[in-house]
Structure 1
């Protein structure tokens, strides 16, 4: 089998190398990718294509069988279309009920790249064992949360606005031997106290006011929601999410609209609580870990968090596009250095598609923007590929009229925020829809 895969891979490289003298040297790109993958943005497409072949997916050969007859479309536009298709965009069918749309302005973004492995995150406060770690071969850093009775506060999520969103990637790692022990849970909390630890002695509920989502990976993959006012429980309910047992990252999305709170685990809306948050002057976000002494000593239960994004505002996408003529979104997310759209972008894409399909006469230009990391020329190409990928998804998966959309990229040339901070970079990584 390995010999067959090697022959297929070699045949592909030779075929692409000899197909057109004007195209890039794929052999050279492959060698560069093997030795310096970190310097790839647009070139990342080549690596992904080779990886697909190694896994037995012959998609590129399939594409070569398509008719090459010109239909009047500009040739350069056609090349961009092919590049976007080669990104192997995921299907958003499973996210058809996902309606999470992040806030307009990013207040904080944390991927922990600025922190050294083994250190406590510089912008966090903790009463337990929190340190930066690498997991699952991930290219970015994670904050590892553990401890017998510990609380972890991101110091940049303070005095949350009435309308705001928080989303992040989460991994829960635990051993099956932990199943037998009830006292093992992790928490995501919106709490009215800014202190790292504030709880009653035995209730595992804050002594003041807030909303807690307790994650119990050991017991039927349950998520308990508890709303409380000055230490008194106002609401208590539970739901299940079977994927808690998977080692794959889970994307958590939280939307606050005054007292109403929605929380999603991947594509599933786990809770929609219209009165989830009792009235309070300020709210803060914190994480918690409650692990009994035996499990904590055995070091078999940990929670990991990364790519934490905190944004303010209640987006009015319809008004922005139809009345003001320009919609700017930071809710269309991509894999690092590529034009592959992440499935958690479905809420934004679905809303935009609904507007365009309802107003069929509307013509728009899709403009991609990047931050300033990396090479200027590659950022320009990356922004173009991302704009084309969005157009392709709107056409192929949401049936928007292709003839009424154009796509282009501006690279890093039009920043709207500074590139010195992670939040500034996240604000600059955006997509604009401009009415023509």
Structure 2
């Protein structure tokens, strides 16, 4: 709560702005509250509370536009609302996680409403701060209407804003899970095809350090009531590393993992970062003679760069750069990180956006054989970061050429939400390659075959594999405009394993999609 002298000063600021610049404010077009409920308790509560707070802030913004001064009580209400809005915004990742396993239509409707509520929250937080500080910027009606109907540049394709303006979301029914994925049609990340390491921590006990990792500090497996699966908490500290049991990386490979954060806010340090290090040793340092690393910013009060730096047989690195990036929203909404190393070239994506692409980042080949994670700058017990689904795979095979030459390919790089046929965004690089083969030769027809691991019943897995194969088929049709008559789909369930279903690695290999020329 602001003290009385500061509160009085803020009131004077707001009054001064209103008195001397009565036309300085123009409200954005009002975002319509959804009229129907989704039927998922956490989603419906999130949407309702978001719009309740939005209505408060929108009202005070209207006061400013009309020239009505804010009194002490108004400022108290805005202060309290700002605290509530910040906390509610922090809960968004947990709400999104509740959609796992929900039917496609309900998931589509829920996503639309969540995104609309997030947009309302974003407006509310920004506007409340500007009203309290007398910094509300002028926007003409044309700019407002444009803003209301377009995506925010910091929003990933999985978090699209509602683009319907005056159309009620409850009257919209997504045709397919691949709707509105235009950005993904250009996503060029291709995961490696030969699995080298995979850990989803499903084989580890909560509270333990994962069995296939080492550290010089601490860390433990945790489980949440609102987010699926086990997660590995990375502890922050000086020269504190966690190292997976990988001791040989090829010249071409990919690294993928998911991030979950908790407690990050505007007080999080600007130095808070997650480092991903490629090293020449498995000791608790960046490296002895060679290393290459990238660091992702975790701070929230400003947009901080993604850093890339390397060190090869010299007193300093040839590269030490900061790449402009505002990934604050992504960091708080369970992002997927993908890294591709192709000989000397290094690329890094956050969700579907490529932020790093350095042609000669790996200056010397065959010396960086170890992967390390390091977190720095978080407040112990308050700000937390977790990872899951670390996957390292050897790359180098062009799926397009293999499909044309051999007539068949199998990939475990097309991923789905657990227990559902919802295609994960990071899978579209592979689907894009398949579409290029079909576009190149109009005579080619493909059968798409889905396979699952052995978790769950036979009948359930058979149906799931069929649904997943059909989802890939629909993505080719809807996103890449392939003629439906050229595609068929089939599910095999768990009936044709290629690896041991009792291990996480084996299950990951068995969850695959085949493309067969007809």
1:277 partnered with 2:358: no
Query: 426, 433, 436: which is aligned to 1:354?
Result: 436
Offset, 1:135: 4.8
1:327 partnered with 2:415: no
C-alpha distance in 1 between matches for 2:311 and 2:38: 63
C-alpha distance in 2 between matches for 1:419 and 1:221: 42
C-alpha distance in 1 between matches for 2:171 and 2:497: 36
Query: 418, 425, 431: which is aligned to 1:336?
Result: 418
Q: Answer with 303-312 or 146-155: which moved more.
A: 146-155
Query: 75, 98, 118: which is aligned to 2:187?
Result: 98
Q: Which residue of 1 aligns with 2:388?
A: 306
Q: Which residue of 1 aligns with 2:30?
A: none
Query: 296, 318, 323: which is aligned to 1:234?
Result: 318
Q: 1:224 to 1:193 in 2, by over 3 A?
A: same
Higher RCO (Cα < 8 Å, 6 or more apart): 1
Q: Which residue of 1 aligns with 2:500?
A: 418
Q: Which residue of 1 aligns with 2:373?
A: 287
Offset, 1:106: 1.5
Contact 1:129–1:150 at 8 Å: present in 2 too? no
- The 5 A counterparts of 1:348-387 are 348-387=430-469
Give SS of 1:270's match. strand
Q: 1:221 to 1:381 in 2, by over 3 A?
A: same
TM-score after normalising by structure 1: 0.77
| Structure 1: gaps spanning 5 or more residues | 10-37, 64-84, 200-205
Q: Deviations over 1:206-244 (max 9, x none)?
A: 442111112233352321100111453121111133223
TM-score after normalising by structure 2: 0.65
Contact 1:332–1:431 at 8 Å: present in 2 too? yes
Larger radius of gyration: 2
Q: Answer with 267-276 or 95-104: which moved more.
A: 95-104
| Structure 2: gaps spanning 5 or more residues | 1-32, 41-97, 115-167
Offset, 1:283: 1.7
Q: Deviations over 1:9-67 (max 9, x none)?
A: 9xxxxxxxxxxxxxxxxxxxxxxxxxxxx9x97x855874896799885578x59xxxx
Q: Which residue of 2 aligns with 1:317?
A: 399
Query: 272, 279, 283: which is aligned to 1:184?
Result: 272
C-alpha distance in 2 between matches for 1:136 and 1:343: 24
Contact 1:226–1:237 at 8 Å: present in 2 too? yes
Contact 1:44–1:337 at 8 Å: present in 2 too? no
C-alpha distance in 1 between matches for 2:37 and 2:264: 37
Deviating 4+ runs (over 6 angstroms): 6-9, 52-56
1:121 partnered with 2:202: no
Q: Deviations over 1:100-128 (max 9, x none)?
A: 11111212221112222222112111122
1:168 partnered with 2:264: no
Query: 353, 375, 378: which is aligned to 1:268?
Result: 353
Q: 1:53 to 1:249 in 2, by over 3 A?
A: closer
Q: Which residue of 2 aligns with 1:89?
A: 178
Higher strand content, 1 or 2: 1
Query: 210, 214, 223: which is aligned to 2:295?
Result: 214
Aligned length: 371
Contact 2:454–2:507 at 8 Å: present in 1 too? yes
C-alpha distance in 2 between matches for 1:376 and 1:115: 25
Q: RMSD across aligned C-alpha pairs, in angstroms?
A: 3.1
Give SS of 2:349's match. strand
Q: Which residue of 2 aligns with 1:141?
A: 230
Give SS of 2:248's match. coil
Q: 1:228 to 1:412 in 2, by over 3 A?
A: same
Q: Deviations over 1:224-277 (max 9, x none)?
A: 100111453121111133223452011110111122111111111111111111
C-alpha distance in 1 between matches for 2:241 and 2:321: 24
Contact 1:124–1:152 at 8 Å: present in 2 too? no
Give SS of 2:260's match. strand
Q: Deviations over 1:125-162 (max 9, x none)?
A: 11223111235821112111123214333433221111
Contact 1:92–1:346 at 8 Å: present in 2 too? no
Q: Deviations over 1:152-195 (max 9, x none)?
A: 3343322111111110111344544644x454322011111111
